[in-house]
Each structure stands twice: as structure tokens, then as C-alpha cells.
Amino acid sequence: MRILKNRTAYVIQGNYVSHGSSHGWEDENEEATLTEGKRSLREYRANGPGQYRMIIRRIPIVLR
């Protein structure tokens, strides 16, 4: 049996622009599945100002 060393997280990031300058990409939300990530991204784009994107991040699983 294979032991997983990483888990996949789908992270929604937002970039807000005020007075002509950008604040950079900040993590807004993290989802466990791609389907939930796409749903969350649609909600952020529909309801919030600024730009939004989804990135895939590998998070190490700590084995004890």
C-alpha cells in the first residue's frame, strides 16, 4: 500500500487594487476538492471586487 506524503488543496486568492496600486495576491479560501474550489471561485468573482484566481497547492502530510 502506498503512503501519501502530500495532500492537494485548491486555494482561492484575491488581488485588490486601491488608488492605482495592487496589494498582491492573498489567500482567501481553501477547498479540498476541485469541484468545491470552482464553486467557491465563482462565488468570489460574483460577489467581490478585485481579481480572483485559483491555485493548486501541495501540502505535506506530517507522519508521526
Domain boundaries, the chain: 17-60
CA atoms within 13 A on the CB side of 18: 3
Sheet of 6-15: strands edge to edge? 26-31, 6-15, 51-60
Q: How confident is the model at residue 21 (pLDDT cuts 50, 70, 90)?
A: confident
* Side chain identity, residue 16: Y
Global model pTM greater than 0.75: yes
Secondary structure class of 57 (helix, strand, coil): strand
Q: What is the dihedral of CA 38, 43, 48, 53, to 10 degrees?
A: 0
Residues ≥6 apart with Cβ < 8 Å to 59? 6, 7, 8, 9
| pLDDT one-digit tens code per residue, 36-60 | 999 999 999 999 888 999 999 999 9
